[in-house]
Amino acid sequence: CKIDYQPAPNLLENRVVLVTGAGDGIGRAAALTYARHGATVILLGRTIAKLERVYDDIEAAGGPQPAIFPLNFEGATLKDFHDMAETLDKEFGRLDGVLHNAGLLGRITPFEQYNPELWEQVMQVNINGPIWMTQALLPLLQASDDASVIFTSSSVGRKGRAYWGAYSVSKFATEGFVEVLSDELSNQPNVRVNTLNPGATRTQMRRTAYPGEDPFTLRTPEEIMPTYLWLMGPDSKGVSGQKFDAQPPRV
């Protein structure tokens, strides 16, 4: 946890960084924060109007001109991911970071009642889509001097919890995938891949999962950004295959 990290103002200057689920919640805060620290941010998400608002906010703050990439992980095909890689290749020729942040909660419900279609949907958005997107983007990441790939995990991706179903399983799969990929890339020090658990954060997803909780007891997405910056930027160069938390455990 690097909640006290003091990033340089120009930490991500000249870096091209893709953020998935950039229209809302933690992804929105990450996109704005990365841009504020100099990154050219590619805003990926499924609701274009939300992405356009983030785009406008970055421009209004004087950040580098971002790009919008509309994509819904449900229904996205390998061709979509390869088309995307081709577009990014033409535009930038490389990719210096990916924050895999888009996520779907599914339902908090006993496994006996879990709807199989919903299970597949959650696995598609939280792990299968991001994996195939990563495969398509690998050549662009390898073209960078220092590329950081961050997968978003959860406490239920490190210890299972009753009723969390596909969400928990998808986050375990995320942790496993990062172990596999980081091991494979261990001879390529210019591409690192880690998992980051934001911890309880004031967003719509958290409100849905814990409807009885007072949101004002939670940190905001903006407050957890120091670890997101540290892991995306050069100060974590060489760190790979590790599990991080964006905030200290709650007592």
Which residues make beta-bridge pairs with 196? 152, 244
Reported for 117-122, long-range contacts at CB under 8 A and 24+ positions apart, including other chains, are: 118/166, 119/165, 119/166, 121/74, 122/165, 122/166, 122/167, 122/170
Binding of ligand NDP at residue 77 (CB under 6 A)? no
Cα gap 56→51, rounded to integer Å: 9
Write the binding mask 178 to 217 for ligand NDP: x where contact by CB under 6 A, - elsewhere: -------------------xx-xx-xxxx-----------
Enumerate residues 85-144 that contact ligand NDP by CB under 6 A: 101-104, 125
Q: Which is nearer to ligand NDP, 144 or 200 (CB)?
A: 200
Residue of 21, 38, 66, 233 interacting with ligand NDP (CB under 6 A): 21
Q: Which is nearer to ligand NDP, 38 or 45 (CB)?
A: 45
Quick count: other Cβ atoms within 10 Å of Cβ 233? Answer: 25
Enumerate residues 33-52 that contact ligand NDP by CB under 6 A: 45-47, 50
Shortest separation between residue 164's beta carbon and ligand NDP, angstroms: 11
Cα gap 238→246, rounded to integer Å: 19
| Of 114, 167, 210, 228, catalytic | 167
CA atoms lying within 13 Å on the CB side of residue 150: 28
Q: What is the dihedral of CA 57, 60, 61, 63, to 10 degrees?
A: 90
Q: For residue 34, indicate whether it is catalytic.
A: no
Catalytic residues: 167
Q: Which residues bind ligand NDP (CB under 6 A)?
A: 21, 23-27, 45-47, 50, 72-74, 101-104, 125, 152, 154, 197-198, 200-201, 203-206
